[in-house]
Structure 1
Amino acid sequence: MSQNKGIRNVKYLKKVIISSDVYAVCIEHALTNESQEIMGLLVGEIDQIECVTTIHACIILHRSDKRRDRVEISPEQLCNASIQAEKLCSILDRRVQIVGWYHSHPHITINPSVVDIRTQSTYQLMDPLFVGLIFSVFTYNKLMHDHRVEVICFQADPDEEKVDVPLIINNSPMKLCNLEAICNLPKILIEEEVESHNITNNDTKDPITKLHNEACKTLAVTHIVSKLSRPLCEALIERLNATKLRIKELQAIKNKLTR
Structure 2
Amino acid sequence: MLNKVLLSTDVALVCVQHALSTEKEEIMGLLIGEVHNNGRLVSIESSVILRRLDKKPDRVEISEEQLVQATLRAEELAAEVGRPLRVVGWYHSHPHITVWPSHVDLATQSMYQRMDSSFVGIIFAVFLTEQTTKAPSVQITCFQSMNEGSSQSRREIEMEIVNQNDSLLMNNFEILTQLPTILKEEEDEAYTNEVGHSQIDDIINKQHNAAVRTIAIGHIVEKMSRPMLEALVARNSLNSIRLRALKRQHQELMSRMENMTCNASK
So what's the TM-score if we normalise by structure 2? 0.90
What's the CA shift for 1:158?
2.1
**Of 60, 85, 100, which residue of structure 2 is paired with 1:111?**
100
Pick one of 184, 207, 224 that aligns with 1:190: 184
Match of 1:9 in 2: none
Greater fraction of residues in helix: 2
2-side partners of 1:232 and 1:93: how far apart?
Answer: 31
The equivalent position to 1:31 in structure 2, one of 20, 29, 38, is 20
Local SS of the residue matching 1:70: coil
Q: Which residue of 1 aligns with 2:5?
A: 16
User: Would the aligned equivalents of 2:96 and 2:128 in 1 still touch at CA under 8 Å?
Assistant: yes
Q: 1:22-71 CA deviation, whole Å, 9 max, x = no partner?
A: 11111111111111101011100011526100011111111102111011
Q: Which amino acid aligns with 2:238?
A: A
Matches within 5 A, 1:14-163: 14-49=3-38, 51-159=40-148, 160-163=152-155
Distance 2:88 2:156 in 1: 16
d(CA) in 2 for partners of 1:53, 1:109: 25
2:246 aligns with: 250
Percent identity over the alignment? 43
1:64-93 deviation digits (Å, cap 9, x = unpaired): 021110111222222211111111113333
Structure 1 gap segments, 5+ residues each: 1-11
The residue type paired with residue 158 of structure 1 is N
Distance in structure 2 (CA, Å) of the matches to 1:91 and 1:180: 15
| Structure 1 residues 81-136: Cα deviation after superposition (integer angstroms, max 9, x where no partner) | 11111111133332100000000100011110000000000010110110000011
User: Match of 1:222, SS?
Assistant: helix
Mean CA deviation greater in 75-84 or 38-47:
75-84
Specify the SS of the correspondent of 2:147: coil
Contact 2:39 2:118 (C-alpha < 8 Å) held by counterparts: no
Quick one: which amino acid aligns to residue 233 of structure 1? L
- Cα distance 1:50–1:203, how it changes in 2: closer, same or farther (>3 A)? closer
Give the number of the structure whose alpha-carbon radius of gyration is greater.
2
Check if 1:212 corresponds to 2:208: yes
In structure 2, C-alpha distance between the alignment counterparts of 1:241 and 1:144, rounded to whole Å: 32
Which residue of 167, 174, 199 maps to 2:159? 167
| Mapped contact 1:190–1:221 kept (Cα < 8 A) | yes
For structure 2, the residue ranges without an aligned partner over 5 or more in a row are: 256-266
Calculate the TM-score normalised by the size of structure 1: 0.92
How many angstroms apart in 2 are the aligned matches of 1:50 and 1:214?
A: 49
Letter in 2 for 1:240: N
C-alpha distance in 2, partners of 1:27/1:93?
28
Question: For this pair of structures, how many residues does the alignment match?
Answer: 248
> For the residues of structure 2 that align with 1:226 and 1:152, how far apart are their CA atoms?
28
